Chain A
Amino acid sequence: MTSKPDFSRLRVNERLFAAGLEEKYREAAERGDSEALQALLAQVDLRIAADGTFWDLNGNHRVED
C-alpha cells in the first residue's frame, strides 16, 4: 500500500478510519479541542476555512453545505 490514501473516494468516517485517526478524533471531540479537530481533519484532506466553510484539499475545492 502507498503511504497516503486517495481520500476523495472515501466517506468522511472512512477517511479518519483509513488514516487510523478515529480514536484521536473522538478524544479531541470529547475535550472540545477545535484546534486538534481541525488538525486531524487536515490530515484527511479536509480543512475549515476562516469563514467556516469546508474545503477538500484533494481537489482544493470548496464544499458547499
Chain B
Amino acid sequence: MLKIENLHAEIDGKEILKGLSLEIGAGEIHAVMGPNGAGKSTLAYVLGGRAGYEVTKGSVSFAGEDLLAMDPHERAAAGLFLGFQYPVEIPGVSNIQFLRSAVNAQRKARGDEELSAGDFLKLAREQAAALKMDAEMLKRPVNVGFSGGEKKRNEMVQMGIIDPTLAILDETDSGLDIDALRTVGDGINTIMRKADKGVLLITHYQRLLDVVKPDFVHVLAAGRIVKTGGPELALQLESEGYEAIAEAA
C-alpha cells in the first residue's frame, strides 16, 4: 500500500530524514516511535505534502502511484488522511460545511457520486456517535472552544467521515486524558482496522498502543528507522528508553 524507500528530506537546507525506508501493507497498523527531533513529524509532513519540505533522494509509492509527485489535494483524493498533532482553531469557519465540501470534492475526483446533504449529515452523526462526540459540535466553527481531547476526537470523526485508505496519525495521543485516549483508540480501530486499510501511527508513548495494537513497531532515530519489531518493541522502549535501543541497533 505504502512503500517508502531511502527517503531523504530537508527543510531550510537541514537534512531531517536520512535514508528512511518503510513498507505498510494493506490491513496493517505500523507504529513509529522515537525521541524528539528524530524526524517523526517530518515524516508525516513529507507524506502529507506540506509546503517547505524538500525530498532530495528516495521514493514513496502509494497504491502503486508516485506519492511525491502528487499535490496534497491529489493525495487526499487518493485516500490519504493526515491527522494533525495540533489542529488549529478557525473562528467563523463552519466545520461541517467545509468537511462536506472536501468529502464531495474527493468523491468527485475519484468518480464517486457526491453525498446529498441528508446522507452526509447522517454519516456525520453516525461517526460522531461512534467517537462519543456530540454531533452538534460539528456545526461549530473549526475547533473553536474545543479542549485538546475534543480537537483530537474531532479529527477522528472527520477521519471516519472521509473513510481514507491510509491514515497517518501524528501524535494523536498527545493532550488526551485516559478516557479520551481509549475513545480515540477505539475509533481508530473501528474506522481503520480493516483488510483494505493501513495506519501509520506516530507516537512517543506506549499507552496508545495498549488500545490500538500495532502489527509492527519501528524506532526512528536520527532520520532513519533503526529497529523494527512487533508490539513487544514498544514495551521494551517504554522500559529501556530510546537511547539504549537506538545505540544497540
Contacts and interface: CB of A to CB of B under 8 A. Distances in A.
Interface stretch (B64-72, B179-187, B196-204): B64-72
B98 A12 contact: yes
Interface size class, chain B: 35 or more
Interface in B51-105: 51-52, 69-73, 76-77, 82, 84, 86-90, 92-95, 97-99, 101-102, 105
Interface residues of A, number: 30
Contacts, number: 93
B223 interface: no
A1 B69 contact: yes
B109 A9 contact: yes
Contacts of B89: 29
B98 A11 contact: yes
A35 interface: no
A20 B106 contact: no
A50 interface: no
B72 A5 contact: yes
B160 interface: no
Contacts of B49: 1, 5, 18
Interface of B: 45, 48-52, 69-73, 76-77, 82, 84, 86-90, 92-95, 97-99, 101-102, 105-106, 109, 142-143, 158, 162
Interface of A: 1-2, 5-14, 16-20, 22, 25-26, 29, 41, 46, 48, 52, 54, 56, 63-65
